[in-house]
Structure 1
Amino acid sequence: MALPTPWQTATVTDIRAETRTAKTFRLELADPRRHLAGQHYVVRLTAPDGYRAQRSYSVASAPDDRAIELTVELLPGGEVSGFLHEVVEVGDELEVRGPIGGFFAWDDESPILGVAGGSGVVPLMSMLRHSRAQGHPDLVQLVVSVRTPADLYYAGEITGPETTIVHTRQAPAGSHRPAGRLSAGDLEPILDADREIYVCGSPGFCDGATALLLDLGVDTHRIRVERFGPTR
């Protein structure tokens, strides 16, 4: 049995806003470890009285980046997300453990299709960034479903022929696709028999996206699913 990865100190070197409610935290690790695209880290907070809270966050940065980037959505009453958003500043230190996870990790060689809902794009962004950094952007096709243009994480990078954005509530001016839920018509043109499919998002989104893929004839063994629940 593999031993759990130890806790270590990470220094916050950059904080940037992705949306009105999401921030990306860049962390320099005291003991850098190469992660696989799709893995996550646990962030642990300890109060002066010894009380501890911890949450898991997917890594958004590519594996060859010596630092890690975690994108955190601020949740109402969020215990950990609130502290990260409202208290943590550049130069602060956090306690982290990772990288963790194997089922949703990508081997960086097989062609894949990523299907993300909202914040579910975070681990898939690591895959897209890695494929681009390796000079093989065609390995990763990415479909991201968001409510409005303002809700899209990494908006400056989710561009180009390997990416598709589906707006469910409000589409940008001039969009060829009207606002509406992810449909079979969004997925069918980019389905490829050689690609494994990584689906990530809320439980409802994952169930809906998986049902669409199965209706399109995708074998269940080609689909990997990671459901995001509220992590306050």
Structure 2
Amino acid sequence: MSTASAAAPVGRWTTGRVVEVVHEGTALLRVRLEVADRVDHLPGQHYVVRLRADDGYTAQRSYSVASDPGDPLLELLVEHLPGGEVSGFLHEVLEVGDVLELRGPIGGWFTWGGAGDLVPAVCVVGGTGVVPAVAMLRHARRLGVSDRLRVVAVGRTRAALPYAEELGAAGALVALTRENLTGADGSVRVAAPPYVDEVRDLVEGVDRAYVCGSAGFASFATRLLGEAGMRATGIRVEQFGASG
């Protein structure tokens, strides 16, 4: 077990009171909660949200944390999945003031930003997999070490990419695969996945990389990093299934 994993905080079951609910289009929901007896997380960790019916039936799902550990509220991003019990309820029923059962923070392998662990790093993230990278960027900005984190964020369109505006403002390389992207300087990036030449300079001098997205995206991103010169042993991957 790595040092970062051993040092990562772990929280037990608790509750979170919903303070803010923001629908972003029809597929994404940003939820901010005030968590009882909260254990401060590290960027890259996640929480489990559990729903409980009157008859005792439960359903739960894990969500990466988007907020910086210094944020007084916990921020989660929920993608509305077809037939998803948890995501469907959260999108259609959840209101400010509701209380959710939560367990977290969880996970140590995918973390960045713990004591002595602010090593230069690069993130290649896609779709809702951008969430842990957003937490890392917010953490780096608060600590004044934004130069230690480089992010490549991939989405189908700008509207479908979570936190697209914030990622772009933070200097992330945003690559859209289904529409062209016009930069602030008027330059146009043609719709395509990120190229090796776009990533090569980002991995220079970096010993750790984070990949997060669907299984297919994770495979692509890992290969991309390797072709750009990143050591395979320095790549940490977190992937999910069809929800990507």
Same fold (TM over 0.5): yes
Are 1:12 and 1:91, in contact at CA under 8 Å, matched by a contact in 2?
A: yes
Name the CA distance, whole Å, in 2 between partners of 1:68 and 1:76.
Answer: 25
The 1:75/1:161 distance shift into structure 2, 3 A limit, reads closer
Gaps in structure 1 of 5+ consecutive residues? none
Matching residue of 2:236: 224
Q: Pick one of 39, 43, 59 that aligns with 1:37.
A: 43
Which residue identity does 1:224 align to in structure 2? Answer: R
Secondary structure in structure 1 of the residue aligned to 2:166: coil
TM-score, reference length from structure 1: 0.93
Gaps in structure 2 of 5+ consecutive residues? 1-5
TM-score, reference length from structure 2: 0.89
Name the CA distance, whole Å, in 2 between partners of 1:87 and 1:175.
Answer: 42
Name the CA distance, whole Å, in 2 between partners of 1:27 and 1:44.
Answer: 14
Secondary structure in structure 1 of the residue aligned to 2:15: strand
- Tell me by how many angstroms 1:17 deviates: 2.6
Match status 1:64 vs 2:70? yes
Name the CA distance, whole Å, in 2 between partners of 1:82 and 1:194.
Answer: 40
- Give 4+ residue runs of structure 1 displaced > 6 Å after superposition: 1-4
Identity across the alignment (%):
49
Are 1:18 and 1:154, in contact at CA under 8 Å, matched by a contact in 2?
A: no
Secondary structure in structure 2 of the residue aligned to 1:159: helix
Task: Show CA shifts across 1:97-124 (max 9, x none).
Answer: 0000000011351111111011100011
Matching residue of 2:222: 210
Alignment of 1:39-188 (within 5 A): 39-108=45-114, 109-160=118-169, 162-173=171-182, 175-188=187-200
Name the CA distance, whole Å, in 2 between partners of 1:70 and 1:224.
Answer: 21
Alignment of 1:192-207 (within 5 A): 192-207=204-219
Which residue identity does 1:159 align to in structure 2? Answer: G
Which is worse superposed, 183-192 or 125-134? 183-192
Task: Show CA shifts across 1:147-181 (max 9, x none).
Answer: 01111211331124631100001123555210012
Name the CA distance, whole Å, in 1 between partners of 2:156 and 2:108.
Answer: 30
Name the CA distance, whole Å, in 1 between partners of 2:79 and 2:108.
Answer: 23
Matching residue of 1:13: 19
Name the CA distance, whole Å, in 1 between partners of 2:101 and 2:168.
Answer: 34
Which is worse superposed, 99-108 or 88-97? 99-108
Name the CA distance, whole Å, in 2 between partners of 1:190 and 1:176.
Answer: 20
Name the CA distance, whole Å, in 1 between partners of 2:159 and 2:147.
Answer: 26
Which is worse superposed, 123-132 or 185-194? 185-194
Larger RCO of the pair (alpha carbons < 8 Å, separation 6+): 1
Q: Pick one of 184, 188, 191 that aligns with 2:203.
A: 191
Aligned residues: 231
